[in-house]
A and B are shown apart, each in its own frame.
Chain A
């Protein structure tokens, strides 16, 4: 277990530092964040036509209220935590990659729900928005990570018998 924690922390530190590096930000994080804003706006437009998205901003044309999707709001950090945990766990590579892929989609689905809910909460009440944004959704996203990790752990194979020659 100690080895798991050490590997987990090392991978997490490496991925997080890489995420903050300028080239990675320019090539991956900023375009990814902008695509999340576009996807959120596209989903909102399905039931609310007065919404536009540009860069990392989603704006309601009537009220002028806008949210900007910044670092910490794009689900990347939560994904890093999950990836680090799955990579640190002794498991077959196929299972790790499958877990990372499904985990990424699950976190992003939850994150889209977060962005859309915050967009409407902010138009309704600033205090509710601040609470949900700064505290509640942060905790819920990490619970999402924990659930995905626990479910993934249940798929790990049981104790493998050593192979016998002859």
Chain B
């Protein structure tokens, strides 16, 4: 089976991958900014009474919660008193798709301009996928990791909790893994036809 074009392509991807991962990690303070702004905006719009602030610290998003403190036996909470709690989300866990996609783009023979266009569009979509992952990570922490008395203050129904759990799993397990491959396949159909001529024939047969 003549698999040499695939071998050549994959060798290039493997060579580009460490470079892309290094660049991605050392530029995390810049690359993560769009995701931070989007997550901050989404949380401010959806849970303003719970999330007081989100701070961007390298790859960590520090989420500052504000809530009515639970009453403890023998302790009286002064009127108007609120409690604060901070937890962090590692945004890189949802962003490894960016160096993977970049390596795929760099390894694909294409015009320089086309590479930039494909990368830019892909980057925007991958940032949205990362935003999904980080937002649902925050939500699942609020719903499933905090004390039940606190998470009940969110007022989510059991169905909404199930959907939030599904959204989190989807954002963690599927989106970062699949999105770069889907984008790459979508943008490089001509190159794919060279790598695997049977693919185009398959589509043509379906259209007959």
Contacts and interface: CB of A to CB of B under 8 A. Distances in A.
Interface of A: 1, 3-5, 8, 12, 16-17, 20, 71-72, 77-78, 80-81, 89-91, 134-136, 138-139, 141-143, 145-147, 150-151, 153-160, 162
Given A150-B6, A156-B199, A139 B100 contact: yes
A159 B205 contact: yes
B96 A139 contact: yes
A159 B204 contact: yes
Contact of B100 (A20, A81, A142): A142
23 contacts: A12-B178, A16-B170, A20-B165, A20-B169, A71-B169, A77-B173, A81-B178, A91-B202, A134-B96, A135-B93, A138-B96, A139-B100, A142-B180, A143-B17, A146-B184, A147-B10, A150-B6, A151-B1, A153-B195, A153-B198, A154-B6, A155-B1, A156-B198
Interface in B164-208: 165-166, 169-170, 172-174, 176-178, 180-182, 184, 186, 189, 192, 195-199, 201-206, 208
B92 interface: yes
Contact of A5 (B170, B182, B202): B182
Contact of A4 (B100, B177, B203): B203
B197 A150 contact: no
A16 B195 contact: no
Nearest to A135: B96
Nearest to A16: B174
A153 B204 CA distance: 14
B199 A89 contact: yes
A32 to B, nearest CB: 15
Given A136-B21, A150-B196, A158-B197, A20 B96 contact: no
B129 interface: no
For chain B, give the interface size range: 35 or more
Interface of B: 1-3, 6, 10, 13-14, 17, 21, 90, 92-93, 96, 99-100, 165-166, 169-170, 172-174, 176-178, 180-182, 184, 186, 189, 192, 195-199, 201-206, 208
A154 B198 CA distance: 6
A12 B169 CA distance: 13
Contacts of B189: 1
A162 B180 CA distance: 37
B140 to A, nearest CB: 13
A114 B3 CA distance: 25
